[in-house]
Structure 1
Amino acid sequence: MSEPVTHFAGRFAGKVMVVTGAAQGIGRGVAMRAAAEGAQVLLVDRAEFVSEVAAEIGAAAHAFVTDLESHDGAAAVVAQAMALFGRIDILINNVGGAIRMRPFAEFTAEQIDAEIRRSLMPTLYCCHAVLPPMLAQQSGTIVNVSSNATRGIRRGPYSAAKGGINALTQSLAMEYAEQGIRVVATAPGGTAAPVRKVPRNAQGDTAQEQAWMAEAVAQVTQSTFMKRYGTIDEQIAPILFLASDEASYITGTVLPVAGGDLG
């Protein structure tokens, strides 16, 4: 299913937006549409080809390559954005994604740690790093990209990481609302996306892992009322709505975007 892309001219005029995981998929789409709607955008990814996306957008975009699985990486992103723009109005935390699909009992300790590092720590670190400039401004919006996989099979550590993002969203929203900072999240369901340029599991999947993944895909599809995966555009639109001033009275909310599956 393909939905028409709607642009809201000038919706982000004068705004500075940082988008993590911007080299491909949802993050790429968010950055491109935000720039089309007037934002100045810093695209962040550990993949070098994030620079190609920024070049495609044009003068409104800058690229920054770093690994957000460390606090130093998150701090460097904030420093770069402040050096370029002098402020950060919106942070879209989009880094994450299950590395492996398997029953929880089949994960090794090292694999559990890797899933948490990828899908929780970049958001945790970036929220921590961006708060000082937002507090100085007494304004800002953080949109975390979570997942409805908090209820799902074959990806227990990833589910736990996304549950942590939901808790972080609600905790920070309560803590910083009086300082003019909103913290919200979307919880995407299964989303059809182009083939990744960088595979989620660099080691490749065994036949057994592919079978476990097929079980997860079947569960995701059956759990949604609509019995289908969403599109990239169907995920971008609610992220940008929550990031915009149209959502100025919304904070602490985790919005399911999963065809009726609440996760």
Structure 2
Amino acid sequence: MTMPVGGAADEQGIFTPQRFKDQVVIVTGAAQGIGFAVAQRIAREDGTVVMVDRAELVHDKAKELAGTGAGEVYSTTADLETFAGAQSAVDFALEKAGSVDVLINNVGGTIWAKPYEHYTPEEIEKEINRSLFPTLWMCRAVLPALIGNSSKEDSRSEQGVIVNVSSTATGGINRVPYAAAKGGVNAIVSALAHEAAHHNVRVVAAAPGGTLAPARAVQRGPLPDDEQEKAWYQQIVDQTVDSSLMKRYGTLDEQTAPICFLASKEASYITGSVLPVSGGDQG
């Protein structure tokens, strides 16, 4: 989960120039938070970035990144809770950039924070739609493009990477539907890695813990509006910190670095793995 903080996002100070040179990277949920920070790092490391979000804000954020590296920066809006939306995002990337090398699935996030018995059926469905289906649909939409990167001369040649952003909230409280969705994301990694390996496509995930981020410009859902809801949310915060061996939230930079590592060729022998990035909390 992300904790809002005042001011701008972390100033990312550690980069690997040209790490994503000549690569096209789709980043979903790219208008703010971890998604924007990932897009920013990849742009600065010379990748061509396709920023996808359902908020129009993504176009302004793309303008911020234009010219920061050797690659281009594109942006498009799409509803990734539908397959049609996911396919439109991939088609846009192929039209603008000509190919796709990496997909980073960042869409998701808790909408409500409360004990499971207080969720309505409609709220449960919305949580699953928000935090599972965008990853499920984007994986399906992008696979043909990744498989089609047919550099078969070297049997070890990597043709594509999918990095899913999961969560250690699979072991958390007051977020059962969200935890179920992120558990599904982890299952996608395990199962799809088996299928995709013979195409030289890697499938991995980072599982962030609590993360400090600027206040969201576009909210996921209603903010707590009474004392009980505030108390339930505070229980999540307390449990997140307590479960971390480092007893704190992480920074945006501490989340983006491992995501970008997993997306890069430096991680070429890692697939089917979910990496907890949560100060020691295994989820």
Gaps of 5+ in 1: none
Report how far residue 206 of structure 1 moved. Answer: 2.5
Q: Equivalents in 2 of 1:3, 1:230: separation in Å?
A: 14
Identify if the C-alpha distance between structure 1 residues 57 and 4 changes in structure 2 by more than 3 Å, giving closer, same or farther: closer
Q: Does the Cα contact within 8 Å between 1:8 and 1:37 map onto a contact in 2?
A: yes
C-alpha distance in structure 1 between counterparts of 2:168 and 2:189, whole Å: 14
Whether 1:48 and 2:56 are equivalent positions in the alignment is yes
Partner of 1:25: 33
Q: Tell me what 1:206 maps to.
A: 225
Question: Does 1:239 pair with 2:259?
Answer: yes
Of the candidates 230, 237, 260, which is equivalent to residue 217 of structure 1?
Answer: 237
Q: What is the aligned partner in structure 1 of residue 80 from structure 2?
A: 68
Residues 1:37 and 2:45 aligned together:
yes
Equivalent residue in structure 2 for 1:149, among 144, 169, 180:
169
Deviation at 1:4, TM superposition (A): 5.8
| Secondary structure of the structure 1 residue equivalent to 2:46 | coil
What TM-score results when the alignment is normalised by the length of structure 2? 0.90
The alignment of Structure 1 onto Structure 2 pairs a total of residues equal to: 261
Q: Which residue type is aligned with residue 90 of structure 2?
A: V
**How many percent identity over aligned positions?**
53
Please name the residue that 1:13 is paired with.
21
The equivalent residue for 2:90 is: 78
Q: Which residue of 2 aligns with 1:121?
A: 133
Distance 1:58 1:172 in 2: 33
Is structure 2 residue 118 aligned with structure 1 residue 106? yes
Contact 1:18 1:42 (8 Å CA) reproduced: yes
Task: Choose from 89, 99, 103 the match for 2:101.
Answer: 89
Query: In structure 1, what is the Cα distance between the partners aligned to 2:100 and 2:133?
Result: 20
Structure 1, residues 11-48: CA drift from partner, whole Å, max 9, x if none? 00000000000000000010011011010010000110
Measure how far apart 1:53 and its partner are.
1.0
TM-superposition CA deviations, 1:80-116 (whole Å, max 9, x none) = 0010111100000000000000000110000000000
Rounded Cα–Cα distance in structure 1 between residues aligned with 2:22 and 2:107: 25
In the alignment, which residue of structure 1 is the partner of 2:211?
191
1:205 Cα offset (Å) = 2.0
Deviations 1:136-183 (A, max 9, x none): 114110000000000000000000000000000111111110101000
Task: Compute the RMSD of aligned alpha carbons.
Answer: 1.1
CA contact 1:3–1:234 (8 Å) conserved in 2: no
Amino acid across the alignment from 1:71: F
Q: Which residue identity is paired with 2:85?
A: G
Instruction: Report deviation, 1:3.
Output: 8.2
1:204, distance to aligned residue in structure 2 (A): 3.3
SS in 1 for 2:271: coil
Post-superposition Cα deviations, 1:51-83, rounded to whole Å, max 9, x if no partner, equal: 111101115211101111111000000100010
Task: Name 1:173's counterpart in structure 2.
Answer: 193
**More deviation, 50-59/167-176:** 50-59
Please say which of residues 57-66 and 217-226 is displaced more in the overlay. Answer: 57-66
Q: In structure 1, give the amino acid aligned to 2:213.
A: A
Q: Please state whether the residue corresponding to 1:137 is helix, strand or coil.
A: coil
Query: Match of 2:154?
Result: none
Shift of 1:225: 0.2
Q: Residue 109 of structure 2 aligns to which amino acid in structure 1?
A: G
Q: Secondary structure at the match of 1:192?
A: strand
Give structure 2 stretches of 5+ with no counterpart: 1-9, 151-158
Moved more, 129-138 or 11-20: 129-138
